[in-house]
Amino acid sequence: MSDVTTGRHRGDARRRHHVARYFGYFVLTMTIAIGLFGAYTFRHLNENLHTENIEAQLGTDRPEDVEVEGPKEPLNILVMGSDTREGANNIDGLTGGGERSDTTLLLHLSADRKFAYGVSLPRDAMVERPTCYRKDGSEIPGGFDMWNAAFAYGGPACTIRQFEQLSGIRVDHWVKVDFNGFKGMVDAVGGVEICVPEDVDDYVGNIHLKAGTRMVKGQEALDYVRVRHGISANGDIGRMKRQQVFIAAMVDRVMSKGVMARPDRLLKFLDAATKSLTLDHRLGSVTKIASLAGELQDIGLDNIKFITVPWDFYQPDPNRLVWAEDANLLWKKVKFDEPLTRRLSTEVVDAARRPGSTATPDPDAGSTESPSGGPTESESATPDLSNDADRAATAAANGLCA
């Protein structure tokens, strides 16, 4: 790797990019859309859903819930994006290796339903994977590996077990979203706008894209979320960023009058979306998803935040990460159902702030809270969102238009 490439990668990583907030927007938008569309579509959409009971694979040493105040129980929902490397439309552009997951998001709803936050878990964080279990009861040995290796070895059950053992937080529900379903969702809403900064010729994945801003559908939309060569200096990190921007653009499209005011388009979108979902057996119905959507609406978009688990570089390899010490503070907040402190939310994003809009810097973002509640110095890694040069450099490193 050249010094320039390494520098771009390090510089981009130091900015602690907002990871799966856009994926959270997608899940939130889909559940709200189901709630708005009406009960008469439930039967058809229910038939699209896939459910699994993986309780036996989660082991007998799961974390215990703690008692908290509130009219309801807090909810922790683990959302996983799934892309297969089998078939002609796989998102990776490669074949072999089975099913993989590059996106994981924990969605926490408070017991009083007054706040919620989503926590992104980067795929390339190095963690200690615990022993997992297959459906037949046989063991999958643990080891020190990338976060997303758990999904490749043992699917949702191993990913959930890994999260529970590392965080001490019990997962109440889980959702798996098949990213190959994007093609049907994009076509259903009439396309999604993208911007490619320069012509792309990826001969590894056989993907070729022309520079410019335009609406894409079908195979071209799939090509955009698959491409990783010849478009950015940082490989998978840039591709993850572009996928997030693509989801953000799709969410904007779904929430527009061109879809919400068109029952035909909305139904096609929900049909494609529900065909892409696999859920735990206790959440596996459109009625229950719609109920969850109603609770999120009651919380209010301004009170739904999206952040990334605190992380640092993994010193032996600058292309890998590790959870930072502050991750323990975050998991304590989740476990005891407490709002995020300023220390943990210097880069927080409100669900009400539409992706793609110009972010307004938080005037308090220059200070954070120490564990005792007092202010500390701002982290040097925090980006200046109002700096045009900073945004342009980040966009270029990720293969995005400035």
Which whole-number Å values give the CA distances from 291 to 42, 157, 314, 326, in the listed order? 12, 24, 41, 33
* Cβ atoms of residues 99 and 84 within 8 Å: yes
**Can you say whether residue 38 is alpha, beta or left, with left for phi > 0 and alpha for psi between -120 and 50 degrees?**
left
Between CA 35 and CA 332 the distance in angstroms is 32
Please tell me the predicted confidence (pLDDT) of residue 329: 94
Q: Tokens for 100, please give them.
A: 């993989």
Between CA 293 and CA 263 the distance in angstroms is 19
Which whole-number Å values give the CA distances from 293 to 114, 278, 321, 338, 386, in the listed order? 14, 17, 33, 21, 33
Instruction: Give the rounded distance of the alpha carbon of 401 from its chain centre.
Output: 21
> Comparing C-alpha atoms, which of 37, 8, 19 is closest to residue 269?
37
Please tell me the predicted confidence (pLDDT) of residue 174: 95
Other beta carbons less than 10 A from residue 378's beta carbon:
12
* Cβ atoms of residues 347 and 382 within 8 Å: yes
Return the HEC string of the chain: CCHHHHHHHHHHHHCCCCCCHHHHHHHHHHHHHHHHHCHHHHHHHHHHCEEECCHHHHCCCCCCCCCCCCCCCCEEEEEEEEEECCCCCCCCCCCCCCEEEEEEEEEEECCCCCCEEEEECCCCEEEEECCEECCCCCEECCEEEECCHHHHHHHHHHHHHHHHHHHCCCCCEEEEEEHHHHHHHHHHCCCEEEEECCCEEECCCCEEECCEEEEECHHHHHHHHHCCCCCCCCCHHHHHHHHHHHHHHHHHHHHCHHHHCCHHHHHHHHHHHHHCEEEECCCCCHHHHHHHHHHHHHHCHHHEEEEECCEEEECCEEEEEEECCHHHHHHHHHHCCCCCCHHHCCCCEECCCCCCCCCCCCCCCCEEECCCCCEEECCCCCCCCCCHHHHHHHHHHCCCCC
- pLDDT tens, residue by residue, 288-303: 877 787 787 678 767 7
**Can you say whether residue 209 is alpha, beta or left, with left for phi > 0 and alpha for psi between -120 and 50 degrees?**
beta
Q: Which CATH architecture has domain 19-190+257-360?
A: 2-Layer Sandwich (3.30)
Q: Tokens for 296, please give them.
A: 């999120």
* Cβ atoms of residues 212 and 147 within 8 Å: no
Please tell me the predicted confidence (pLDDT) of residue 158: 97
Which residues in the chain show pLDDT less than 50?
1-20, 88-96, 349-386
* Cβ atoms of residues 37 and 270 within 8 Å: yes
Q: Tokens for 374, please give them.
A: 């007092």
